[in-house]
Structure formats: structure tokens, C-alpha cells
Amino acid sequence: MNGAWSSAAVRRAEAELMPQLPPGTLMQRAAAGLAAACARMLKTLRSDQGGQGVYGSTVIVLAGPGDNGGDALYAAARLARRGARVFAVPVMRSRVHPLAAAALTQAGGRLTSEPPPSCDLLLDGILGIGGRPGLPDRAVELLGRIKSRITVAVDVPSGVDVDTGSVPASAVAADHTVTFGVRKPCHVLGAAALLSGRVHLVDIGLSGHLDPHPMVRIAEAGDLVEWWHTPGPDDDKYTRGVAGIAAGSAKYPGAAVLAVSGALAGPTGYVRYAGSAADQVRRRYAEAVCTDTVKEAGRVQAWLVGPGIGADESALSAVRDVLAGAAPAVIDADALTLIGEYPSILAGCEAPVVLTPHDREFERLYGSAPSLDRAGSAAALAKRLNCTVLLKGHHTVVADADGTVWANPTGRPALATAGSGDVLAGLLTSLMASGMDGVRAAVAAAYLHGKAGGIASAGHRTITSTDVARALPLAIGQVLSGGAGQAGS
């Protein structure tokens, strides 16, 4: 398990470590790592220019008043010593880190209020973990007119809310973020995660000084491998778990087919379908065992109820029957709307429940839409309803009733396609039926679904939910075999 730590936790760790080191050591470690990362990026960027990397490149630094600007200026000094033409612009009048600014000018860089109109690399050293959301006007103006081939944020993209990932005002959109010690929540949550680009971690020696629990946990392929129930020689189709899918209707048979496709891709050995789209499901998947209602289905180890079931009496019965049983349940789509209307159905339920809302469904359950602090909102709903909540978005979060929050590192906007949630819910149900607890199953399902989306949309292909379902076995295979394990790839 990986994680992201709040700015306060980072400051506590730094305060503990700093007195043990000569003054300025942490900033020099940060600057050295930042300069090395920039040098690698410049080398790749300028590979078409006879292998020239740093030498002869143009670098512009937007320098804020604090230590974030200090990191940027010291790193830029290192690049200047390797032959980069460096222009540093103070964005808060002339307030800049004085020693770092002196180091830059000594190395041949220039402090200026008139930078060139374009550069190879723009270094955002405006604000770091001491920043409030929003940018100084001068920074907005400069960002609007400087054309840069690559933008690198120092520690965090300036302007974002570091601890929630919300972006309530202007902020930098980076291609890369080079961060120090640990990842911060803004790298993996909300709109800020998109503005962070690719995140590179520079070790500055903080790890032994951090709180053991991150603010946000980040799933890795290794977690899924550890959690996975690999069938043994004594397993049969029942012991591997039976997933039950109560989805679809005469009006929306596709939801049934897609949810079943997600479940079949998962680790269980058996998928039961209950509902009025049985013919369509049978036609597509000979291996699914179909009944008309939840009550008629045999034993299952986890149920999904909701996708495409509508809001009529039979839909309500399906939700009631699932929640009256002892099996863990995934509540999705129309079932979430019904729970919003009849909250008492959920209140009486004793089995573990995972809710998988998008923003409008969240509002029906919570009474207001998720705030910009999406992780906080998901955690609040989970606590109120004593459930696990998987809040969908371009960076899906999973929250448990005890306040634990996970950010999903895979996934991409292309997954916002009709039926994609049905596939996710089916897979999640299979994972729960195989014995994984609700939080882990939700985290694993979001991870694999995002990875399958990446596989299906390789080469910028547009994708359908069927493509995502078809890519799931490959995504699962890659994760379990430890191969091609890049999150988001």
C-alpha cells in the first residue's frame, strides 16, 4: 500500500528530521532531485536535437516567495551550471528566497521581470505545501503568455488545494510534478490530480518520520496480488464464490448483460443472474445461471442489485430481498435511487454493503452533492450509512465507515461511457463473492476497471463498456503476474 500524506503531516516529519541535519540539507536534497528529474525530461524532449539535453536549453522559473520558490531556484542554478539559459521571474513583487536567488545568479541565471516568450521547460515554483488555493495575478498573467514545451510543478501544481485535491480557483496545469518525501493528496484526488500530470517522487529522507497512516491510501498492483483469492486444487465452482447479479429490465436489458460480463471476468467460479432480462443474458453468456427473481436464485456469496432495474415494484422487491439476506451486497444505479427514497431498507441491513454512486446518486443519498473535497464527502456518506462508498469520478475514491480513504490511481476520462459502471459493479460483486472484504473489493475493482480502460483505449481508441469488459481478463492477468504493472497504463 502506498499513500499520500497531508501538508501538516509532512511539516511534522520535516520538523522532526530537520534538526538532525546541517541547515539547508532538505532543500538541497529536494533541489538536487528536482534538477536531475528536469535534466532527464530535457534530454527526452530534445532528443531530436543531437542528444542535447540541459546544455543550450531555455528554462523559465516562476518563483514564489517561500521555500517552494527556493527549491525551484536552487534546482535552476544546477541546470544553469550545466549550460541551461535560465530566467527566473519573481511572481510576488520581488519576494523570493534570497539565498536561492543568489545561488542562481552566481550560476549564470538571470532574475528578470521580462522573461522570453517561450522556453523548453517552465518550472512552477510559485506555491508549495504552504500555498492557499488560487494564484497571484502576476502568475496568471505570465502563465497565460509564456509558451513552454513542458511544464514541471515543484512539489505540487501551484494554486490547488493540497489536502483535498480541489481546484476552486486558478492553478497551474503541469505535465510533470516532482514531489519531495511523499505524495500529497492533491496528486491523487479531484481535479488537482489531473493538473499534476505524471508524479515523480524524490526521496529526501522523511520516511522514518512520518505518521504511519497516510491521509489517503493509494492502491498498488501488489496490494491486489496480496488480497486475491487464488483457487487451490481443492476449490470447486462453489467454493470460489457465487456472484449474484440482479440487474436489467425489459427496458434496459443491456445493463444486465454488462453487469454479468463484469462478474464473469472476476475471480468467482459461478455467476447467477436474477431479473427480467434473462433471455438476453443467456443468449450472450451460456455460463450464467438465470432465474426471474432474487428469491428464486440459489445461494450466493455476494449480490449486486441496481443497474437498469428501474424504480417499479419489482425493482423495489429486488432491493428489499437482497438487503434482507445475509450476503454482502453492492448497491448501484437505480437501487441507490430507491435507497434514497426508502432509507429504512438499508437501515435494517446487517450484511456488509458497498454503495457505488456517481455525483447525482450521491446527492440523492446524502442530500447534497459531493463537495470539492471528494474524499471527505465519500467518507461522510460512508460514516452516515455505515457502508463502504465507492464515489465514481475521473479519480474514483473509496471510503470506509471508519474514515479510511483510498484513491484509485488508474482510470481515465474515456471510461465515462454508458454502461461502464455496470461492468465495474459486476466485477466488484465477483471480488466480494470470492471472499474479499468490501473496501478491498471496491479498491481492487476500481483499479482493474481503470487498467482495463487503459488497455482498451490504447492508441487513443474510443471505447465502449463492452471493450472495457473484454479487456478485464488481460488487466487482471497483468496485475496478478506482476507484468506491465504501471498504474493507469
Ligand X SMILES: NC(=O)C1=CN([C@@H]2O[C@H](COP(=O)(O)OP(=O)(O)OC[C@H]3O[C@@H](n4cnc5c(N)ncnc54)[C@H](O)[C@@H]3O)[C@@H](O)[C@H]2O)[C@@H](O)CC1
Binding of residue 128 to ligand X (CB under 6 A): yes
Region from 23-31, 285-293, 431-439, 457-465 binding ligand X, contact rule CB under 6 A:
23-31
Q: Is 410 annotated as a binding residue?
A: no
Output the CA torsion sign for 72, 74, 80, 86: positive
CA distance readout (Å), 70 to 54, 212, 353: 20, 29, 48
Residue 124: contacted member of K ion, ligand X, none (CB under 5 to 8 Å, by partner type): K ion
Q: Is 131 in the site for ligand X (CB under 6 A)?
A: yes
Residue 148 phi, psi (nearest 5): -130, 140
CB 468 within 8 A of CB 449: yes
90 binds ligand X (CB under 6 A): no
- Is 396 annotated in a binding site? The answer is yes
276 binds K ion (CB under 5 A): no
Instruction: For residue 400, state whether it binds ligand X (rule: CB under 6 A).
Output: no
Residue 224 contact partner, candidates ligand X, K ion, none, CB within 5 to 8 A by sort of partner: none
Question: Are 49 and 76 contacting, i.e. CB atoms less than 8 angstroms apart?
Answer: no
Q: Which is nearer to K ion, 139 or 304 (CB)?
A: 139
Residue 442 corresponds to which cell in the numbers above? Answer: 471496491
Q: Which does 147 bind (CB under 5 to 8 A by kind): ligand X, K ion, none?
A: none
> Length of the chain in residues, anyone?
489
Residue closest to ligand X when measured from CB atoms:
128
**Phi/psi at 200 (5° precision):** -115, 135
66 binds, among ligand X, K ion, none (CB under 5 to 8 A by kind): ligand X
**Contact between 161 and K ion per CB under 5 A:** no
Residue 215 has a CB neighbour count (10 Å cut-off) of 20
| 327 contributes a contact to ligand X by CB under 6 A | no
Q: Binding site annotation covers 395?
A: yes
Residue window 96-135: x/- pattern of binding to K ion, with contact defined by CB under 5 A: ----------------------------x-----------
Strand segments, DSSP code E, in 234-391 are 242-246, 270-274, 289-291, 302-305, 329-331, 353-355, 388-391
Contact 267, 241 (CB under 8 A): yes
Task: Tell whether residue 180 is a contact of ligand X (CB under 6 A).
Answer: yes
Query: Nearest 5°: phi and psi at 113?
Result: -100, -5
Q: Which of 135, 154, 315, 390 binds K ion (CB under 5 A)?
A: 154
Helices 420-433 and 438-456: angle between axes, nearest 10 degrees: 140
Residue nearest to K ion (CB): 158
**Is 229 flagged in the annotation as binding?**
no
Q: Give every CB contact of residue 106 below 8 A, 6+ residues apart in sequence.
A: 77
Interface with ligand X (CB under 6 A): 14, 18, 26-27, 30, 64-69, 71, 92, 127-132, 134, 136, 154-155, 180, 204
Residues belonging to the binding site are 67-71, 124, 155, 158, 308, 358, 392-396, 421-422
Residues belonging to the binding site for AMP are 392-396, 421
